[in-house]
Structures are given as structure tokens and as C-alpha cells.
């Protein structure tokens, strides 16, 4: 009986499992068409959104491309054909008989070099923004529009320091594109790069802003580049980088590539910088830049600790030029400039660019962090072209060579002879005369011929002052070095 009951129970459980499987299978058969339909609906929604996005790109391209132009330049390169007999028959003896150029001597020729680039019309009067490297040295510039019209172009002016050029054509019903505000752009924002790569008119590529404020790229002197992954091919130089409103936010300038092709890293000059340069070139034919008269450097965490700074944001003043606007305004060495004309300062390069585009003679308010307190100074911006870089001269203090084995350097108190030998900018301090191989100093890039002006915020001119300053801070050595390139703080770790 017991076995029967158990057998009946097992059979019942078996049939229950079979029924559950059948029910699940039946439900799957019933729901599958709905699932497929839902998946198809989602796919259609995604396609619809992508289609809308592509329509936005197409609308922008149709709006902007009529004003994007092909810039064709011609340069005459004078060179002399030479053959083995040129120097012989060019001798003064033969010139007396045959004149300045004997008939059998080869003649100078002026071959032409041609180049292509891009530009964009930014004003109905016919002003065009492009790159300096596109038109540099050009004898003739021709501009071709999308509607096949061609115009001779006049070079209004160029600025090598930002790689911006301004051209002008004379015509009627000229298309143009409005300039936006590059200060309002954001990383991740969609952009289109439009230009004329390889002679192919109105080529459009899409991407995003990868970074902004790129400096120290080594392309031009004043760098504040917008970095984008939109393909900026060589022929795109001078073409516009536009936002989704169809406004110009940059002028395409360069690509990062080892082969000449695009690798997803392109650089554009921010339109605010290009606009400032353009306005000056149109008004004056050249660019006049503002001058503050300071040397500045970035604040690293180590430097902030060594100088006991309360913040790492801003530009650290390492030197104030004599009789400069900065000195007259009361700016001091070790001040940190945290705001300039209402704009917060995050890096030395940003401050340098802001000063450069500030009108000469304008009074500007600067926010300064000094000894952990905030002060405001007013400075009148000077003219960089007229800046008189005077050198500070201090008292001479003689002394012999002294080794600093801890740091791997040898120093000497500056004498008049050493000052002349090393052509020093300052005549007081401690001259570094030797760097030991594989030392801390070598690892941190210190070079022979630099002058130690301050150590741990103490001015040093003698070995005893250097010793006292080193004893002040047991963990770090913060040196202010004066080099041919200017003053710079270096933070060195001390041996434990």
C-alpha cells in the first residue's frame, strides 16, 4: 500500500512538471509574436531618431557649405638652373666679352608652386577667415565658391602667432556664416568640420568636441585649441568647425598625424580668438597684443604644498618685469592670479591668451591670492610690441664652488666674471655650475647655467643663506630658478 501510494505520488509530480513545461511553451508561442513586434518597434524608433539626427546634419551642411570656399594659391619660387659649365662661364673674365649673361648660360627661372586650402566667408562684404599657412608667401590667391564663381582675393592680413589669415573678395550676393561663441562650447558637443580636402569641394565630417583649451601642442605661439575627432584632413585647413546651430565655433588648423592622414585628433582655433585677430587685421593691418609684464607658471600639487598655497587654481607669478604694467599695479612675485577681467583663471596659458586679446590701455581688475588672502588690483594693459624688457641688476657677491651632494648640483656665488661668462640675466644669486649624472637635479630637468634665486621662499645670494633655507623645510626643496627662458619654480624631493 505504501509503495502504491508513493508510486502514485511520483506519477502525479511527473505529470505536474510536464504540464508546467507545456504551459510555459504555450505562453512562449503566444507571446513571441508580441516580443518580435516590440523589438521591431524599438528598432524602428532607434532608426527614426538616427534619421532625425542625420537630417539635422544635412540641414546644417546645406546652410553652411555655400559659404565655405576653396582657396587656391600660387607662389613663384626663384631658383637658378645650374650645370657643370655655369660657374666656369659665369666668371668675370667671360662676362667682359659676353656681357652679364652669355647666350649659352642657363637663365634663371621662376617656377610656380600651387596650393589648396579652405576658408569661410564670415561677412556679406566678402571677408574670409582662413589659415596663415594656407596663404603664406602667396603671390596670387583665387577663391572659388560652391556655386562655381571665382574671385581674385586680397590678403588683408595674416597672423603667424595664431595661424589666422583674413582675405577679401569683391562680389554681390555673397553667402556667409555667422560666428558663434567659442567660450560656451562643451566637451562632448556635436560638431561638423567642413572644408576642401584634396580639392574635393564642400566635404563634411561629423564628430564631437574631444577637449578644449589645448595648449603646448607646438603648432603656433598662442594656443587655445579646440580638439575634435571630426576628420580634419589636410585640405580642411582654414575651413569652419560649426555647432548644431550652424554657427562657426572654430577655424580648422591642424591634425595630429604621423602619416599626414586623419587619426581622429584635429585642432581648431576658437572663433573668439580668430574674431579678435580678424578685427585687428581689418582695422590696423596687424595684431597688437596686450602686455602684463610677468612670468607665470602652473601650480602643481607639489608646488602648492612647497609654497604653502591654499589653492592650486590660477597662475603663479614667478617674476615681475621692471617698469611693467604688473609692477605699477602692485603685483608681486609669488602672487597667484585667480581671475582676470571677470574670468576665472585655471592655467597660465589661459591668462596669457586673455591678456593678449585685451585692448591696449584698458584698465582691468585682477583677483590675486597673496599669503592666503584675496586682494583686488587694477592694471592698465600695455603694448607687447613696445614692451621694454629691462633686466634686474643686483649686487655682486663673490664666493667659491660648493657641492650640494643631496641634490646633485654644484653652485657658485656669482661674480662679475661668471656673470659675463654665462651671460646671466641677473647678477646676484647662486649659479649652478655642474649637474651630477643620475642625480635628483638631472631627473627634474635642472640645467647648468641656471641661477638659484630663492629656496623655500627665502632669497639666497650666499652659501650660508642657501644652507639656512634648506633647513627650513625637511621634506621638499622649492627652488626659484632664473634661466634664459625666464623664471620657474622647481619642486625637488629631499632624501630621507
The single residue of 72, 118, 130, 133 carrying the catalytic annotation is 133
Burial class (CB in 10 A: 0-12, 13-18, 19+), 169: buried
Alpha-carbon Rg for the chain, nearest whole angstrom, is 34
Cα 410 to the center of its chain, rounded Å: 37
Catalytic, 245? Answer no
**Among 481, 480, 478, 483, which residue's Cα sits nearest to residue 493?**
478
C-alpha cell at 67: 559659404
C-alpha to C-alpha distance for 417 and 149, rounded to whole angstroms:
68
Contact (Cβ atoms closer than 8 angstroms) between residue 376 and residue 431: no
DSSP state of 97: H
Catalytic, 237? Answer yes
Q: Which residues of 85-114 are buried (b: 16+ CB within 10 A; e: fewer)?
A: eeeebeeeeeeeeeeeeeeebeeeeeeeee
CA distances from 1 to 4, 159, 338, 360 (A): 5, 106, 95, 111
From start to end of 305-438, where are the E strands?
A: 315-320, 336-340, 343-344, 363-370, 373-380, 382-383, 401-404, 409-413, 430-435
- 284 CB-near residues (< 8 Å, 6+ apart): none
Widest Cα–Cα separation across the chain: 143
The SS3 assignment for 182 reads: helix
C-alpha cell at 141: 590667391
Hey, how many other C-beta atoms are within 10 angstroms of the C-beta on 448? 13
C-alpha cell at 316: 603663479
Catalytic, 40? Answer no
C-alpha to C-alpha distance for 436 and 447, rounded to whole angstroms:
10
The single residue of 118, 159, 163, 324 carrying the catalytic annotation is 163
The single residue of 130, 182, 237, 276 carrying the catalytic annotation is 237
Q: Which residues carry out catalysis?
A: 133, 163, 237
Amino acid at each position: 500500500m505504501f509503495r502504491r501510494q508513493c508510486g502514485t505520488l511520483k506519477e502525479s509530480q511527473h505529470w505536474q512538471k510536464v504540464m508546467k513545461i507545456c504551459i510555459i511553451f504555450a505562453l512562449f508561442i503566444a507571446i513571441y509574436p508580441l516580443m518580435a513586434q516590440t523589438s521591431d518597434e524599438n528598432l524602428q524608433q532607434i532608426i527614426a531618431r538616427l534619421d532625425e539626427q542625420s537630417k539635422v546634419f544635412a540641414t546644417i551642411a546645406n546652410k553652411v557649405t555655400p559659404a565655405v570656399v576653396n582657396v587656391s594659391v600660387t607662389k613663384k619660387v626663384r631658383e637658378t638652373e645650374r650645370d657643370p659649365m655655369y660657374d666656369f662661364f659665369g666668371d668675370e673674365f667671360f662676362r667682359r666679352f659676353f656681357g652679364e649673361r652669355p647666350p649659352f648660360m642657363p637663365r634663371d627661372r621662376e617656377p610656380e608652386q600651387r596650393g589648396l586650402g579652405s576658408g569661410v566667408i564670415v561677412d556679406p562684404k566678402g571677408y574670409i577667415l582662413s589659415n596663415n599657412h594656407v596663404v603664406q608667401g602667396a603671390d596670387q590667391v583665387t577663391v572659388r565658391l560652391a556655386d562655381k564663381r571665382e574671385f581674385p582675393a586680397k590678403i588683408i592680413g595674416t597672423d603667424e602667432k595664431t595661424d589666422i589669415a583674413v582675405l577679401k573678395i569683391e562680389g554681390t550676393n555673397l553667402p556667409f556664416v555667422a560666428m558663434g561663441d567659442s567660450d560656451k562650447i562643451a566637451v562632448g558637443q556635436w560638431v561638423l568640420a567642413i572644408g576642401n580636402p584634396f580639392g574635393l569641394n564642400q566635404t563634411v565630417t561629423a564628430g564631437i568636441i574631444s577637449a578644449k583649451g589645448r595648449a603646448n601642442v607646438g603648432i603656433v605661439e598662442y594656443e587655445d585649441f579646440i580638439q575634435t575627432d571630426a576628420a580634419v584632413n589636410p585640405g580642411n585647413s582654414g575651413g569652419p568647425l560649426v555647432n548644431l546651430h550652424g554657427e562657426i565655433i572654430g577655424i580648422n588648423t591642424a591634425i595630429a598625424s604621423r602619416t599626414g592622414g586623419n587619426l581622429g585628433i584635429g585642432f581648431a582655433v576658437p572663433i573668439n580668438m580668430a574674431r579678435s585677430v580678424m578685427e585687428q587685421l581689418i582695422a590696423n593691418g596687424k595684431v597688437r597684443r596686450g602686455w602684463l609684464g610677468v612670468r607665470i607658471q602652473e601650480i602643481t600639487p607639489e608646488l602648492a604644498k612647497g609654497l604653502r598655497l591654499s589653492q592650486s587654481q590660477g597662475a603663479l607669478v614667478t617674476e615681475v618685469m621692471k617698469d611693467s604694467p604688473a609692477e605699477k599695479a602692485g603685483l608681486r612675485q609669488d602672487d597667484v592670479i585667480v581671475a582676470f577681467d571677470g574670468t576665472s583663471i585655471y592655467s597660465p596659458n589661459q591668462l596669457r591668451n586673455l591678456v593678449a586679446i585685451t585692448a591696449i590701455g584698458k584698465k582691468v581688475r585682477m583677483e590675486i591670492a597673496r599669503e592666503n588672502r584675496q586682494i583686488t588690483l587694477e592694471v592698465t594693459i600695455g603694448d607687447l610690441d613696445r614692451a621694454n624688457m629691462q633686466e634686474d641688476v643686483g649686487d655682486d657677491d663673490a664666493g667659491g664652488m660648493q657641492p650640494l651632494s643631496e641634490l646633485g648640483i654644484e653652485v657658485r656665488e656669482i661674480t662679475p666674471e661668471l656673470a659675463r661668462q654665462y651671460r646671466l640675466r641677473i647678477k646676484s644669486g647662486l649659479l649652478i655650475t655642474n649637474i651630477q649624472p643620475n642625480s635628483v637635479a638631472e631627473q627634474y630637468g635642472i640645467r647648468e647655467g641656471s641661477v638659484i634665486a630663492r629656496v623655500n621662499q627665502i632669497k639666497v645670494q650666499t652659501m650660508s643663506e642657501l644652507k639656512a633655507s634648506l633647513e627650513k623645510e625637511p621634506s621638499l626643496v622649492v627652488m626659484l630658478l632664473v634661466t634664459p627662458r625666464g623664471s620657474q619654480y622647481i619642486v625637488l624631493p629631499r632624501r630621507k
